[in-house]
Structures are given as C-alpha cells and as structure tokens.
Amino acid sequence: MHRHGYKGKKFGRERDQRQALIKGLADSLVLNESIETTLSKAKAAVSYTEKLITKAKKGGLHNRRQVISSLNTIEAAHKLVDELAPKLNSRASGYLRIEKGNLRRGDGVQLAKVSFVDDLKAKAPAKKTDDGSSKAPVAKKPATKKPTTKDTK
C-alpha cells in the first residue's frame, strides 16, 4: 500500500473521533493553560491551537465565530479571544511549547507537557498612547491628603 495523500497522525481513530480528540485537547489547553498528553497528540494539538490563536489575535466577528466553532466550549473561545490573544500580541508565532516528560508506566509511551511560552498571569497587555508609544498600565497610589493651614490649627 502506498502513503500518497495521507497527512497527519491517525491515532487509531476514525476521522470524526480524531477531530473531536484534537478539539478537546485544544479546549483544555486554552482553559487550563497547560495539558499533559502523549507526544504525538501534543504535536497535533499545538499545530491546531496555534492556528486558532492567530485567528483570535486578528479579531473581528468572523474570526471569533471561527474560533467558537473550532473549540468545544464557548467559554474557552471567549477566553482565548478576550483574555489570551491580547497578551500574546508581542509574538508573531510560536505561542506554545512542548516539554517531553517521562514514559508512561503502562505502555511506555512518551508523555509531553504543552504550555504557553509567555507567562500569561504575570503581565497585562501594553496599551497604545496618543503619541504611538506603548506603555504598561501603572497602578495608581491611593490619594493622600496634604495638610493645609486649616488642618494644622
């Protein structure tokens, strides 16, 4: 048998089951911000999710609807478009990393952890100012009342 026209891993599943598997992995990755799975499933999930992140970064109604249809839950899609994509604007691509883990005890398959390259909890997106430069948001200090001549008497 020849391999012409066969693209990607099959994971021993039918087409719809395979698509549901990758969709579920991408959904979990967006909601939990990291997952642990087998190496081959991780590679497939990263490829799928990075394309979704690029769509989410472009913004617009059409791209948002495409992201919603590509993930299992609407919560994950809204989190990707509204929270994660603005934090990833500094990158053009390569949003996710795959770290190899231990071998699984039962069948000896290579495990891998997939996570975002940037720390998404620490930084807030930089906002553009009127002069075109970008500044990080600064926390305001509580206002302290200066003593006046009336307060000192």
SS (H, E, C) 82-143: HHHHHHCCCCCCCCEEEEEEEECCCCCCEEEEEEECCCCCCCCCCEECCCCCEECCCCCCCC
Q: If you average pLDDT over residues 22-44, what whole number do you get?
A: 97
The predicted model scores a pTM of 0.76
What percent of the chain is predicted at pLDDT more than 70?
A: 78
* Residue 142 reports pLDDT greater than 90: no
Task: Tell me which CATH code domain 15-119 carries.
Answer: 3.90.1030.10
Question: What confidence score (pLDDT) does residue 44 get?
Answer: 96
pLDDT tens-digit map of 48-81: 999 999 999 999 999 999 999 999 999 999 999 9
Q: If you average pLDDT over residues 70-97, what whole number do you get?
A: 95
Which amino acid does the sequence have at 5? G
Each domain of the chain, given as residue ranges in start order, spans 15-119
Angle between helices 39-58 and 15-32 (to 10 degrees): 70
Helix (H) or strand (E) holding 145: none
| Residue 34, helix vs strand vs coil | strand
Question: What confidence score (pLDDT) does residue 121 get?
Answer: 80
* Residue 101 reports pLDDT greater than 70: yes
Question: What confidence score (pLDDT) does residue 30 get?
Answer: 97
Residue whose pair of structure tokens reads 């911000």 in the numeric block: 33
By C-alpha distance, which of 109, 49, 111 is closest to 80?
A: 49
